[in-house]
Structure 1
Amino acid sequence: MSTTVDTSHQSLILTIDEAAAYLAIPKATLYTWRTRRAGFGPRAVKMGGCLRYRRADLDAWIVEHLEPAAGE
C-alpha cells in the first residue's frame, strides 16, 4: 500500500482569499455577492465553518457571465 499523498487535487478547493485572487476581485466582493446578492456569485461550500470554492464552480461561473462576442 502506498503512503504517497496525491497533492494534485489540493488546488481544486480554494479559500476565499485564493478564490478572490483567481477571479481578480476583492475578497469583500465575494462576501457581498454571498450576503447581499444571493445567487449571483459563484457557488461556495462551507467546510468547518469556513467558505471554500471549487475551482470548477469558479470556472463555470465565469463562463455563465461571459459577454456575447460581437455578432452573437
Structure 2
Amino acid sequence: MPTSNQDRRIDPSMQTLRESMTIHPLLTVDDLAAYLSKPKATLYAWRTRKLGPKAVRVGGNVRYRWEDVEEWIAEHVEE
C-alpha cells in the first residue's frame, strides 16, 4: 500500500527542474529542500549527522548529485 509520501504528485516545476538536471546535475540545498519538502536546516542537520544524502562541496557551497539523492531515497523505502 502506498504511503502518503508516495501519493504526493510531483510539482510541475520540480519536474522541469529534474529534466534540466541532465545539463546541470548538481542540486543546491534550496533545490533539495524543495524536492523533499523539508526545511534547509533539516538538510544541514542531516548532513552533519551523516543521515542525509551524500553531499559534495563546490567551492564553499554544498551541492547534491541526483544519483546520490535517488540512492538515499531508495535506501529509506519502508517495506
Equivalent of 1:33 in 34, 38, 46: 46
Structure 1 runs not aligned, ≥5 long: 1-6
Q: In the aligned structure 2, how far is the partner of 1:46 from the partner of 1:21?
A: 19
Deviation at 1:8, TM superposition (A): 3.6
Higher helix share: 2
**RMSD of Structure 2 on Structure 1 (CA):** 1.4
TM-score under structure 2 length normalisation: 0.68
Alignment-derived partner of residue 21 in structure 1: 34
Percent identity over the alignment is 54
TM-score under structure 1 length normalisation: 0.74
* Structure number with bigger Rg: 1
Number of matched pairs: 59
Flag the structure with more relative contact order, 1 or 2, with Cα contacts below 8 A and sequence separation at least 6: 1
The answer to whether structure 1 residue 55 and structure 2 residue 66 are counterparts is: yes
Structure 2 runs not aligned, ≥5 long: 1-20
| Runs of 4+ off more than 4 Å | none
Q: In the aligned structure 2, how far is the partner of 1:52 from the partner of 1:45?
A: 5
What is the identity, as a one-letter code, of the residue corresponding to 1:41? Answer: G
